[in-house]
Structure 1
């Protein structure tokens, strides 16, 4: 939870210590179901989400967790996942993560000055840091690294600034910036993004709490979901996985009470 995550941390720290582009419509998706997580579970699922098709992987400000697809059981949790060398630089925030080839791609930033942006690679089975990381240039990630999305078909991983006017495409091979893709319209308060059917879908914590679709080749932006959530709700990461209930897009949001998290499941309208 970008910029509001400390509120959830404060509310639950005592528990830890004690224990082909188409014309778009904002009605392209409908909510099928919702799961709510509370207190410590909410904290550990409050930032980003990805999947390998067998498990969910969640991120929160400092950590990572691996969870069964029914959301009932946390199989592995790493409370402090930020590597020591990044902590020493003042890094204190993990954003929306992604999965690729048995690894998690994890964006890490110093959530105040935004001087040090990284994408660190973790082993998905153990949630341990592999020692591989990529420093992202502050010249194009001026307010941190809020999310990362892997695009194997194009050979990139993407990120952007929080208030985005361009996509930044980095080489999957060496993490070097390859190009910037200007957007057809600004995307406010981008909290997470994933590639789905060749397009990039991004969750925005802007006024409409929307999900936007971006063509990574042209930069064309269209609105595919206006969630109707309240102003005090904070939209977080999202992920795609087809489920028997007809849902395929799954979006996290932090409830106004700041101690519960919703995992909303959407299907095509």
Structure 2
């Protein structure tokens, strides 16, 4: 029998491994497995308790009634403690936010005891954090509350999600980025529970869901929505389980820093939340702590 050279064996093994990797990636695609692996790089505390956005140079954070701008090393640069000044429709609550072309897009509403009304998207200047313009939602959409919104530049759209109401978690609502006109709603299958954050990346929509009960020490999750512009429904994939948070609590906004290839996730711990309203503290806490978790995103499969 002829001997096979070491170099040839290496080539054969490499070829076999490559084929196996491709087969695994194809299988992952068919099975709708996570698109990325997430490595926790660092965390830092912020003042706001709701949303997070990134433009590659700065981070933007929303509280329920305020807005903040941070450097990427966590230094506070600017704040607006009265972001509702100039709103034609009264608001008392901000959810998750996004930033696009030096403007901060804010999901705003009047929220009390688990119920929302007077939904609107407010656009603020990214330098001063002051209001520039607003546009309201379309009541015919069926949306009863807004927990988060995200800019989708490729589709020239803004997407909104709902936390409560009869349609809570069942739909995403799409609006025209230029005109503010309502486009459509997309039925999510299966339905995430308690959507808190939303961001668009490469055509897919990523959602954070506060579907883990803190009292029962359950983890919250990240989901990926595979949007098809020609379908009224969209498949939902479980992308990540947040077992690496510092404590059980309430997950909030999400964003992607496209310059660094990092995902930022906002989460609160320490305060008990009932129907979206603060109700005291958990043992060991005398204040609520809002953390930003920064993850390096690595594709599970090579690009085609």
User: Can you list the C-alpha shifts for 1:60-79, whole angstroms capped at 9, x where unaligned?
Assistant: 011111110111x1111001
TM-score by length of 1: 0.81
Contact persistence 2:255–2:265 (CA under 8 A): yes
Partner of 1:4 in structure 2? none
Q: Which runs of 5+ in 1 are unaligned?
A: 1-20
Deviation at 1:24, TM superposition (A): 3.6
Partner of 2:59 in structure 1? 56
1:238 aligns with 2:254: yes
Deviation at 1:100, TM superposition (A): 1.1
Deviation at 1:260, TM superposition (A): 1.2
In 1, Cα distance between equivalents of 2:68 and 2:202: 26
Report SS of the residue matched to 2:96.
Answer: coil
Deviation at 1:231, TM superposition (A): 8.2
| Structure possessing the higher relative contact order (Cα contacts under 8 Å, 6 or more residues apart) | 1
- Which runs of structure 2 are paired with 1:120-269 in the superposition (5 Å)? 120-130=122-132, 132-140=133-141, 142-162=143-163, 163-207=168-212, 208-217=219-228, 218=231, 219-228=234-243, 229=245, 232-241=248-257, 248-256=262-270, 257=285, 258-267=287-296, 268=298
Change (3 A) 1:77 1:213: same
- Which runs of structure 2 are paired with 1:90-101 in the superposition (5 Å)? 91-101=91-101
User: Can you list the C-alpha shifts for 1:215-265, whole angstroms capped at 9, x where unaligned?
Assistant: 222511101101125884100101112576xx6111011023452122112
Q: Which runs of 5+ in 2 are unaligned?
A: 1-27, 213-218, 271-284
* Number of aligned residue pairs: 238
In 1, Cα distance between equivalents of 2:201 and 2:117: 31
Bigger radius of gyration: 2
Change (3 A) 1:141 1:226: farther
TM-score by length of 2: 0.72
In 2, Cα distance between equivalents of 1:96 and 1:103: 14
